[in-house]
Chain A
């Protein structure tokens, strides 16, 4: 029940992707499309494969079968038929086209806020020091941290670190931004400032695929919601449809009921 139109090719096209960790199958023939400018949210119980799916999109994890294309280009393999892995140099170049923000921020602890953003701009995009610095300052301003450019991650709050993490990802001008439970490690009072940044990026038309437990945010910010259960896509649709209490999808109903019980 995809609502993205079929006449324009999807920016991200995940087709029949399966993956196992040993005997455990974590992804079961997952298919998913994200159109340019779309914000797609993945929800589901823990262990349903949401994070693994996200990590496959920029090939932090490999997958066993299926194909993932960004802008028509196969991500991890030279040719999905032979499943010949791309060279590390190719993979690095592909990954530069996707941005990722992590649950645990993962800032480089030896670099300042600006330094974290500049590293990719200097080494991957080949920008000059001055150019990289001005881009970093621009994005720090966007996330409300212009005054923290020269602070080390250890000197920042969780919410501030995560905003630097977002700035680091978007400064590379990725085609798509992957957000992996980016507010899960934050104190409740810091969640709002991070979500506000994500919302403003969505308004700018940034294409996003995000995993979150923030249902209210998912409802307000996404064009579509994907519900995953046991490694497979169980339901896809507009937020209103997916989050409706009277859904006929039994697993989704159980998930939402349990979620409401624990969060309200």
Chain B
């Protein structure tokens, strides 16, 4: 019980944490944006494709979901450049990994949403003479989005937290910043308390924002 909390050293190096948090958010936003594109394209393709394409997409999803993210990060950052002649920075490597990773999870979210759109709505779209593309854009996707928004919020929060894995390849995001402060000040309790609070608050802020979007979607138009 001889340990006295002292946050002074943490505040002195707070820029490491603040800059780290901003980088974490940047990694998450870029990766999720790319992941959404991957997820949407593959989910739409999946529900309209034949068995071969479905099997390939399902294999991608299963592979990603059954391999730990940290392993994928190592594979892409250390493994890939030794096989193919590519050079990229650690942040780029991580964004690449997290994009492919989030894509797999988002395919599942979007696919189940697309399949949950009631058939009657698609019939109604057909009956007024909409083409397949118009039915997708004006009937199926809007309804799918309303169905998937809650699951989507959870996935986004989860992916934001996953950015902490980038610390293992020295990307100076929030967790890496915390480690740096720990190694240099030995205030392990304080630094991780502050870091935890920062993840928590950011997660809540994201959730709050997404809930607002959900509510807007349910209420208006």
Contacts and interface: CB of A to CB of B under 8 A. Distances in A.
A120 B130 contact: yes
Interface string A169-196: 1001000000000000000000000000
A104 B142 contact: no
Interface string B99-143: 000000000000000000010110111111111101000110011
Interface residues of B, number: 21
A119 B221 contact: no
Interface stretch (A110-118, A137-145, A201-209, A227-235): A110-118
A93 B126 CA distance: 10
A110 B129 CA distance: 19
Nearest to A110: B142
Interface stretch (A15-23, A94-102, A253-261): A94-102
Interface of B: 118, 120-121, 123-132, 134, 138-139, 142-143, 146, 217, 221
B146 A95 contact: no
Contacts of A119: 128, 130, 138
Contacts of B142: 108, 110
Contact of B124 (A93, A102, A110, A124): A102
A95 B127 contact: yes
A80 interface: no
A151 to B, nearest CB: 11
A168 B118 CA distance: 18
Contacts of B126: 58, 60, 92, 95
Contacts, number: 79
Contacts of B118: 106
Interface in A67-125: 88-89, 92-100, 102, 104-112, 115, 119-120, 123-124
A183 B150 CA distance: 34
- Closest A-B pairs by Cβ, 8 of them: A96-B129, A120-B128, A106-B120, A106-B124, A100-B127, A124-B129, A110-B142, A92-B131
Nearest to A102: B120
A120 B129 contact: yes
A123 B127 contact: no
B124 A112 contact: no
B121 A108 contact: yes
B180 to A, nearest CB: 47
Given A106-B121, A108-B139, A60 B127 contact: yes
Contacts of B124: 100, 102, 106-108, 168
Nearest to A59: B126
A88 B130 CA distance: 10
Given A102-B120, A123-B138, A109 B127 contact: no
A168 B120 contact: no
13 contacts: A58-B126, A60-B127, A92-B126, A92-B131, A102-B120, A106-B124, A108-B124, A108-B143, A110-B146, A110-B217, A119-B138, A124-B129, A168-B128
A60 B130 CA distance: 12
Interface string A32-71: 0000000000000000000000000010100000000000
Contact of B129 (A111, A112, A115, A172): A172
